[in-house]
Amino acid sequence: MPFLTAGFPTIRESKDALQVAAETSDILEVGVPFSDPLADGPTIQRSTYRALENGMTVAGTLELIGSANLNRPVVLFSYLNPVLQYGVDRLLRDAADVGVAGLLLTDLPAGADVALEEIVHCSPLDLIRMVAPTSRKARIAQAVDRAQGFVYLVARLGVTGVSAELATDLGPSIERVRVATSLPIAVGFGISTPTQAIAVARLADGVVVGSALVEVLGRHGVAAAGRFLGGLRAALDSA
Amino acid sequence: MTHTLVPETSTAGRFGPYGGRYVPETLIAALDDLASLYDSMRGDTGFWDEYHQLLRDFVGRPSPLSEAPRLSALVGVRVLLKREDLNHTGAHKINNTIGQALLARRMGKRRIIAETGAGQHGVATATICARFGLECVVYMGALDVERQALNVYRMQLLGATVVPVESGTRTLKDATNEALRDWVTNVATTHYIIGSVVGPDPYPRMVRDFQSVIGQEARTQVLERVGSLPETVVACVGGGSNAIGIFAAFLPDASVGLVGVEAAGEGIGTSRHSATLTAGRPGVLHGSLSYLLQDGDGQVAPAHSVSAGLDYPGVGPEHSWLRDRGRVEYHAVDDHEALEAFRRFSELEGIIPALETAHAIAWIIKSKGRWSVDAAPVLLCVSGRGDKDVAHVASLLGPST
């Protein structure tokens, strides 16, 4: 499951990158750029600032997804404020129109705004919930209670970005979520190499690769990003 | 003095619709722990005794209530000054950092992080960390590091590590983002001392409680001195902690007018100001829903003020609620008016105020004629002293002749 920032490195290349990524992935995650990405590390931060300079907006993100004809389920990643200002109902309607399947709001943890969460839950879009290494048993139960689609498990403490090693307690973390829900579990944060992807895929149902992909895309372009994802895909298929 | 906490004005972490906890999931457990510890400390007299002992012996509280005879003559009403500038470290910020450092100690967290704009909160945090022997890391926008070299060196002298933040607008908002990123990464060992009544619950109510000592002292002092309550209480508002601190004790007194003064920067009509409550609209930043300076797409707008302490695009959620309810009036004063008040107040009263405070003073001067001669006094919160601003003001106004 690749993550890409909408509008990075340019709006044109962003569309190309989404199409290339769709060829080798099961689900695409598309990030709406936000001026204050406090859950993101330096790579995604830089990509969002660049995307904003390129004039990317919520409406532009939806337009990009629609025009790319991706033929894969798309999950929209966003901080809450751009969605609030666009209008929640309007976003859910417009996103469904361009084929978005799910919505993950980084700074809307379970229970933060129950009414808003219910609106997403009852919409055509799946309400994607996050679980963190710090989430305790009762909290995991609360987080997965209204979750739809899949559960996104944050692999380690910290912000998005490449790590040299996977968290050692990833197995037990996945197990704690597994007993709480029958939904598939995707794991993200810090996964960048085929070896790491294979290790995570043995335990989880989905592997999210974001910062490493955005880094390759920014430095070496769309074709290189496609080869990077192709390498991960091949590793996962042969494992 | 015994600490009488103000009745809680929030419900489930919200002030009306504002506040809340809009943070990444990773922080929820830490906020739950902090809130439950703080809730238990609210009724713990031992905790408050220790807090007040430090305020007395280390900070020098209670801070005095001063007359301002020449300013009073100028504006035609008696003005009384609550002297937070006389606190150790030179501003109200230390009231909060002491309270939170005590909480961190109870949680067994030995590493403290903080964000700072002008550097006053950073200095206050570094100070109490030195006193308690805690590790201290302060995030500061790279632009502010350049503008406030003196405070950077003060923090370093106090043993803190100052990390310049190069992302975004390189100011307070980005320093706050970076502090939150550190906290997400090191949450098991680290307490984040937020410097204002902003951020996710429980910070806005916790910081208010630690700052409410300002208003409690001032209310008692004014009653003793004058025999009646003030007509109006005035304070500057960036994030809004000194304002909430002095307002809290007067909220139940319906006869007392409360005025918060924001920074209009180069003018409300320009894009270069920090007047969040005057010109913003509700949005989510740094963990809470509150008024926010933002564009039509929900991107946070860069703030501007001559005063680094007011240079922030958000504001505390309790202020948003007080604004909507009409309990507090909010006005805005521009850079030019604040600089003029800075100079004027120094000459008239022998007190060099912080540039932040100068905004509140400017509003009082502008509002001459609002009060009748026999009105009860106007109470001004002198949130900090202006030593930190002298070099900056000299560069803007030129040397005195």
pLDDT tens, residue by residue, A70-82: 999 999 999 999 9
Low-confidence ranges of chain A (pLDDT < 50): none
pLDDT of residue B399: 67
Residues of A marked as catalytic: 29, 40
Question: Can you tell me the distance from the alpha carbon of B180 to that of B186, in angstroms, rounded to the nearest whole number?
Answer: 10
Token readout for A24 is 């080798």
Q: Does residue B383 carry a catalytic annotation?
A: yes
pLDDT value at position B29? 93
| B29 at A interface, C-beta within 8 A | yes
* Residue A133 buriedness (CB in 10 A; 0-12 / 13-18 / 19+): buried
pLDDT of B131: 98
Chain CA centroid to CA B326, Å = 21
Q: How far apart are CA A160 and CA A43, in angstroms?
A: 8
Q: Is A70 helix (H, G, I), strand (E, B) or coil?
A: coil
B188 touches chain A (CB under 8 A): yes
- The ipTM of this complex is 0.96
Our count of domains for chain A comes to 1
Which residues in chain B have their CB less than 8 angstroms from residue A110's CB?
A: 25
Nearest to B116, CA basis, from B239, B223, B216, B281: B239
Q: What is the pLDDT along chain B (401 residues), one digit of tens a residue?
A: 566 788 888 888 999 999 999 999 999 999 999 999 999 999 999 999 999 999 999 999 999 999 999 999 999 999 999 999 999 999 999 999 999 999 999 999 999 999 999 899 999 999 999 999 999 999 999 989 988 888 999 999 999 999 999 998 898 999 999 999 999 999 999 999 999 999 999 999 999 999 999 999 999 999 999 999 999 999 999 999 999 999 999 999 999 999 999 999 999 999 999 999 999 999 999 999 999 999 999 999 999 999 989 999 999 999 999 999 999 999 999 999 999 999 999 999 999 999 999 999 999 999 999 999 889 999 999 999 999 999 889 999 876 65
Among chain B residues, the shortest Cα distance to A156 is held by: B185
Q: Which domain holds residue A170?
A: 3-238
> What strand order describes the sheet that includes A74-78?
A3-5, A28-31, A74-78, A100-105, A126-127
**Known catalytic membership, residue B93:** yes
β-strand partners of B80 = B67, B379
Q: Determine, for residues A38 and B296 on separate chains, whether the beta-carbon distance falls below 8 Å.
A: no
CB contact under 8 A, A84 and B283: yes
Q: Is A159 on the interface with B (CB under 8 A)?
A: yes
- The radius of gyration of chain B's CA atoms, rounded to the nearest angstrom, is 19
Q: Cα distance from B246 to chain A (closest Cα, Å)?
A: 30
Q: Which residues of A touch B29 (CB under 8 A)?
A: 132, 134-136, 139
| CA torsion, ordered A33, A36, A38, A40, to nearest 10 deg | 30
- Cβ–Cβ below 8 Å for B294 and A36: no
Of the candidates B310, B316, B399, the residue with the CA atom closest to the CA atom of residue B354: B310
Chain B contact for A11, CB < 8 A? no
Give the distance from residue A217's alpha carbon to the nearest chain B alpha carbon, in angstroms: 20
CATH of the domain at A67: 3.20.20.70
Torsion region of A99: left, alpha or beta (phi above 0 gives left; psi -120 to 50 gives alpha): left
d(CA B211, CA B203): 12
Q: What is the pLDDT of residue B229?
A: 98
Whether A157 sits inside 8 A of B186 (CB atoms) is yes
List, in sequence order, the alpha helices (H) in B1-147: 28-42, 45-54, 69-75, 93-107, 120-132, 142-147
Structure tokens of A154?
A: 């944050």
Q: What is the pLDDT of residue A239?
A: 80
What counts of helices (H) and strands (E) characterise chain A?
11, 9
Nearest CA in chain A to B27: A134
B167 vs A45, A79, A157: nearest CB? A45
- For the beta sheet containing B287-292, the strands, ordered from the edge strand earlier in sequence to the opposite edge, are B14-15, B18-22, B287-292, B281-285
Q: With 0-12 CB in 10 A as exposed, 13-18 as middle and 19+ as buried, what is B325?
A: exposed
Cα torsion angle, B86, B88, B90, B95, sign? negative
